[in-house]
Amino acid sequence: MQGDDENSFLRVSNFPEPGLCFDCHSEQKTILMTDHDLSEPGKSACSMCHTPHNASAQAGILARWEDDAPGATYNEKHCFTCHKSDGIAAGNIPVAFQHPHQYGTVTTMVRNIGSWTDFPLFTATGPAETFGYIDCFTCHNPHKWSFDERLQVPKTENDEGTRLTSFLREPSEKTLCSDCHGESALWKYNYYHDPLKRKRY
């Protein structure tokens, strides 16, 4: 018999709500009832993206991505395993998605509040506190639909994302780019972004 989140001799039940996972990772409860809550019979919201057993050493406990998925980092490949034409998120594929992939640094307190986790960078082996690459997870928190608690739970089963939701770490209007680029954000946006990336979505 193949075990699952419901019947694997677990010390704490992990289905239907992933109580075993939340026992340590309580801050990730915000994933429940969002578009990333892909629970199905025998599998909790966590199990769709995480595999604590036989996981790839490179990806931590992220479920294995598809090798041909686009993206420059393992986080991006993980996202685009679903967000592609024949994936489970085929209806939500970013038209323009890649930030210039160059090794960089972000001060530990970008906005002079919070910590490096506000806009984390990543390397081939995981999160980086100072030096790393910008990828999907830098601007998006896959476990939290909105930074605003009032908007955290979508109103419908497939709520269309906005600049205030969409798993963004901060609101995209006026602040997300300038948090890192400061006063030069508008200039960089107008002259370095190609027309596709400047389009309003």
pLDDT in tens, 54-73: 666 566 677 767 777 777 77
Residues of the chain with pLDDT under 70: 1-9, 54-60, 64, 97-98, 101-117, 124-126, 129, 154-158, 171-176, 192-201
CA 129 – CA 22 distance, rounded (Å)? 24
Q: By the 8 A CB rule, do 70 and 76 touch? A: yes
Q: Where are the domains of the chain?
A: 105-199
pLDDT value, residue 111: 46
Rg (CA), the chain: 18
Going by C-alpha positions, the residue among 21, 49, 19, 55 that lies closest to residue 37 is 49
pLDDT value, residue 158: 64
pLDDT digit string, tens, across residues 162-177: 777 888 887 665 566 7
Confidence (pTM): 0.76
